[in-house]
Structure 1
Amino acid sequence: MEPNAKKDQPIAAILLARAHDPDEATRIFTEKVQQRPLFLAPSSPPPSDARAARRRAQEKKRQQRKKALKPKPLSASQRRRLGLYRVPRERQRYALFEPLHQLWLGYVREVLGHEVYSGGEGAAAKLASADFHGAGVEVVRSGCVSRVGIRGIVVKDSKFAFEIVTRDNKLKLVPKEGTVFRFEVPVSDLKPTEGEKPAEEATSKMVFEIHGEQFQFRSADRASRKFRSHFSKKL
């Protein structure tokens, strides 16, 4: 009977009986094995949170689907390889950009406001954050003498250079460093009072000169920069 009784015992009880006294083995087996609590992790949220859990799961799936459908932005090298910002040779015509220049004149008059008549530090601060796509500029000073006199419409305002289409339908790349650009803004002779709109008919011109070194930022980055007047060694 004893061999059969041992066969009916669990393996844990047989091993404990070899290492401890019968009473001690029985106590350990009862407390540590038979009466050991078994903790189960909940497989589903409580009924009160089930609706919120379903909403979170649906929102997560929606975000994953939206992320999968959203195209990845092109890198700078891919944009250059595709030529997205390159002006084709057949499009390098001055007459094609004249409407853009007229739009820019209205834009710069709106940006300058009353400083278009007085100039000064107020106008400089506004011009420092302005966009020059469509501006009619002329190179008046440059470290390279051959660039002096280049005049046309800015078709690309990059970080370190202006791309200008001249009247003879040629595209010129003019670096900003060491170059002074001049542009003219037609204005009315009668200065409007505070709160009054300027006259639509322009009878004179205000001439501004900008130093390219102060504009060595992308046009999108200049919009958030603050103008700080400081001494320039090249003036």
Structure 2
Amino acid sequence: MEHATNDLKEFITDLVIPHQRYSVNINPDHITMLDGTKIKKQLSRKRRPNKSSTLSRKEYAKLGLNTLPTKQMKYEEALPLHNLWKGYVREHLELREGDEVPQVHDPRYEEFSKQLVKLDLHGAKLKVLQSKCRTLENLSGICVMDTKNVLKLLGEDHRIRTIPKSECVFGLKVGNMDFTIFGQHLNIRPAERSVKKIKNFVEPFM
């Protein structure tokens, strides 16, 4: 091995202009690498496969992160979340004091209605106005979980109820404005809903 390294040193030195050969400084590690043998330090630099730091959906569900404690949450504990949501919705819809809901004939109506259904509803106070299941009608509470197909509302009686979106029509109040949202427009995860392009006409709301 040493003999091969010396031969390589001599070969490389011969490639340099004669009067500059005295200043050539050859790193033995480089010679070793050219000779095809990797030293331990080089082997330790091998990239290790990167493992994703995010949880898969299966791991997420296994840890119970898709569920909420049904009897441990108090309505009062969700009020700070609701107060944060009120600031968020005013910013999202660009609302100011005294603003009124655009009417169907108003040029702003279509864009406003699309922004409305894009809202993240975590923290919103919602009421079921109509439902195919009569027992769900008039149920209300603060939304503590918004998934693809259901909303989980924490009522003033401290109970969490699961409400299917597509079966219901929801009432939502922002300041002095009352909105009606058809649950079928909400059937998508909040993160995806907020960036989704809505091409179809959104049914009228009040």
Same fold (TM over 0.5): yes
After superposition, the C-alpha distances for 1:53-103 in whole angstroms (9 at most, x for unaligned) are 9xxx98x947527x2xx4553332322221113212343211110000010
- Contact persistence 2:123–2:143 (CA under 8 A): yes
The alpha-carbon distance between structure 1 residues 92 and 226, as it changes in their structure 2 partners (threshold 3 A), is same
Q: Which residue in 2 is equivalent to 1:211?
A: 182
User: What does 1:166-205 correspond to in 2, within 5 Å?
Assistant: 166-186=155-175, 205=176
CA drift of 1:144 comes to 0.3
Q: 1:118 to 1:174 in 2, by over 3 A?
A: same
Q: What's the % identity of the aligned pairs?
A: 30
In 2, Cα distance between the equivalents of 1:138 and 1:171? 13
TM-align CA RMSD: 2.9
Contact 1:129 1:222 in 2 (8 A): yes
Q: Distance in 2 between matches of 1:231 and 1:97?
A: 30
Whether the aligned pair in 1 keeps the contact of 2:101 and 2:177 (CA below 8 Å) is no
User: Cα gap change, 1:97/1:231 in structure 2, threshold over 3 Å: closer, same or farther?
Assistant: closer
Alignment of 1:127-146 (within 5 A): 127-146=116-135
Report the equivalent of 1:64.
Answer: 48
- C-alpha displacement of 1:147: 0.2
Number of paired residues?
160
Q: Which has the higher helix share?
A: 1
CA contact (8 A) 1:181 1:212 kept: yes
Give 1:96's aligned amino acid: E
Between the aligned partners of 2:184 and 2:71, the Cα distance in structure 1 is 31
User: After superposition, where does 1:222-233 map in structure 2 within 5 Å?
Assistant: 222-230=193-201
Matched ranges for 1:1-235 at <5 A = 61=45, 63-64=47-48, 67=50, 70-114=51-95, 117-119=100-102, 120-186=109-175, 205-230=176-201
User: Which is greater in Rg?
Assistant: 1
Gaps of 5+ in 2: 1-7, 13-25, 35-40, 103-108
The answer to whether the 8 A contact 1:138-1:183 is kept is yes
Report deviation, 1:121.
Answer: 1.7
Q: Quick one: which amino acid aligns to residue 121 of structure 2?
A: F
The separation in 2 between residues aligned to 1:126 and 1:230, in whole angstroms, is 12
User: Is the contact between residue 128 and residue 214 of structure 1 (CA under 8 Å) also seen in structure 2?
Assistant: yes
Structure 1 Cα separation of the partners of residues 45 and 196 of structure 2: 40
Q: Is the 8 A contact 2:75 2:155 kept in 1?
A: yes
What is the CA–CA distance in structure 1 between the aligned matches of 2:153 and 2:47, rounded to whole Å? Answer: 44
- Please give the alpha-carbon distance, in whole angstroms, between the structure 1 residues aligned to 2:54 and 2:202: 40
CA–CA separation in structure 2 for the residues paired with 1:222 and 1:62: 41
The answer to whether the 8 Å contact 2:146/2:152 transfers is: yes
Query: Are the structure 2 counterparts of residues 217 and 62 from structure 1 closer, same or farther at C-alpha, using a change threshold of 3 Å?
Result: farther
Give structure 1 stretches of 5+ with no counterpart.
Answer: 1-42, 187-204
